[in-house]
Amino acid sequence: MDWALPPNYSTFGVVIDQLFWIILVITGIAFLLVEGGIVWFCIKYRGREGARAHYTHGSNRLEIIWTVIPAIIIAVLGAYSALVWDDIKGSSNRPADALEFLVVGKQFEWNITYPGVDETLGTADDFTVRNQFHFPVNEDITILLESEDVIHSFFIPELRVKQDAVPGMTIPVWFDATQTGNFEIACAELCGLGHYYMMASVTVHSAADFDAWQASQAPAAAQ
């Protein structure tokens, strides 16, 4: 039993994980407080013959305290989350010179279109590979996410990337992997009877390896 986040291999993942642990600590403390309090009260104030409860309708001071403290904690968390969210998803923070890929989800495959050696989508040397996503490490990657039929969700756990692919929309998603390795794209949104089987391999190459891989694919695609 290994209940942990999978290792993180992306730049955004660092701060996402950090936020996760911060929230875990805060909620953990609240959890202990509440659950501990309940157990303690159950033992301490359990009914006894002839005992009489303390008559009170409440305390405005306490009400204010437990309104304001959660509100402050939550406001701080919210503000921090909003900043991070804007960093990750805000359209003004989309990297300008990222390497672009087109990823099209369909029942039950991911088709990835590569920009080819000219590094531009929509040109003659583009080629499409089914269920294999290769890209270089330490480089800004933007995928243009589309769907042919129903809503899918593009999920690479190790890169902390998740975005729904919606038919009729092209949604840009960007990330930057920090290590080479082999991962998987999973579909995270129920998309039909093959939902669980809609996986694709992800290979993060070094820059040189990626060029080599792309060159090896291009002639096949040119036919």
Partner 1 sequence: MATIVAEATGQAILHEEHEQSFLRKYIFSTDHKVIAIQFLIYTLFFLMIGGLLAMLMRYQIAWPARGELPLGGIFPESMVASGYILPEFYNALVTMHGSVMVFLAIMPMLVGVWANYLIPLQLGTHDMAFPRLNMLSFWAMVPAGILTLASFFVVGGAAGAGWTLYAPLSARPDLTGVGLGQILWLAALVFIGLSSILGSVNYITTTINMRAPGMTWMRMPLTIWSLFITAILALLAMPVLSAAGIMLIFDQTIGTSFFLPEGGGQPLLWQHLFWFFGHPEVYILILPAMGFTSEILSVGSRKPVFGYKAMVLALVSIAFLGFIVWGHHMFQSGMNPMLGLTFTVSTLFIAVPSAIKTFNWMGTMWRGNLQLHSAMLFAIGFVAMFAIGGLSGVFMASTPVDIYIHDTYFIVAHIHYVLFGGSLFALFGAIYFWYPKMFGRMMNETMGKIHFWLTFVFFNLVFFPMHGVGMVGMMRRIYDSTGYAHLQGIEDTNAIITWAAFGLFASGFLFAFNFFWSLKKGRKAEANPWNATTLEWQTPSPPKHGNWEEIPVVYHGPHEYSHPDVEDKDWLAQNERPDVVSPAAGSH
Partner 2 sequence: MRSHFWNRSAALLAVAAMAACGGGDGGSSEAADDAGEATPAAAAVDPSTVGTISGMANFGGMVPTMEAIDMSAEAECAAGYGADGPMAQSVLVSEGGLANVFVYLSEGVSGAPAASGAATLDQVNCRYTPHVLGVQSGQDIEISNSDNLLHNINATPTENRGFNISQPRAGITSTQRFQVAEVMVPVRCDVHGWMQAYIGVVDHPYFAVTGADGSYSIANVPAGDYTLTAWHEEFGTQTANVTVTAGEMAVATFDYNAEMMGAEVPMGDALVLEHGTNRIRVERTQ
Helices 60-89 & 11-44, crossing angle to 10 degrees? 160
Q: How far is CA 114 from CA 60, 140, 143, 152, in A?
A: 63, 15, 10, 20
Judged by beta carbon distances under 5 to 8 A according to partner kind, the member of partner 1, partner 2, none in contact with residue 89 is partner 1
Measured from the CB atom, is 119 or 184 closer to partner 1?
184
Choose the binding region for partner 2 from 74-82, 134-142, 167-175, 188-196 (rule: CB under 8 A): 188-196
Positions in 111-140 near partner 2 (CB under 8 A): 129-132
Measured from the CB atom, is 156 or 200 closer to partner 2?
200
d(CA 160, CA 203): 15
**Would you call the peptide bond into 108 cis, given omega within 30 degrees of 0 as the criterion?**
yes
Q: Does 220 bind partner 2 (CB under 8 A)?
A: yes
Q: Which of 1, 5, 41 is nearest to 23 (CA)?
A: 5
d(CA 219, CA 36): 66
With residue 218 as reference, give the H or E element that holds it. helix 207-222
Applying CB under 8 A, among 9, 12, 101, 108 the residue interacting with partner 2 is: 108
Judged by beta carbon distances under 5 to 8 A according to partner kind, the member of partner 1, partner 2, none in contact with residue 131 is partner 2
- Count the site residues for partner 2 by CB under 8 A: 18
CA angle (15 as vertex; 13, 18 as ends), nearest 5: 105
Judged by beta carbon distances under 5 to 8 A according to partner kind, the member of partner 1, partner 2, none in contact with residue 130 is partner 2
Judged by beta carbon distances under 5 to 8 A according to partner kind, the member of partner 1, partner 2, none in contact with residue 61 is none
Applying CB under 8 A, among 11, 73, 81, 107 the residue interacting with partner 2 is: 107
Q: Which of 66, 216, 207, 61 is nearest to 132 (CA)?
A: 216
Q: Does 194 bind partner 2 (CB under 8 A)?
A: yes
Q: How far is CA 76 from CA 33, 120, 213, in A?
A: 20, 42, 46
Q: What's the closest the beta carbon of residue 145 comes to partner 1, in angstroms?
A: 8
Q: What's the closest the beta carbon of residue 101 comes to partner 1, in angstroms?
A: 17
Q: What's the closest the beta carbon of residue 63 comes to partner 1, in angstroms?
A: 5
Q: At 119, list the tokens.
A: 């590094």
Binding stretches for partner 2 (CB under 8 A)? 106-109, 129-132, 192-194, 196-198, 200-201, 220, 223
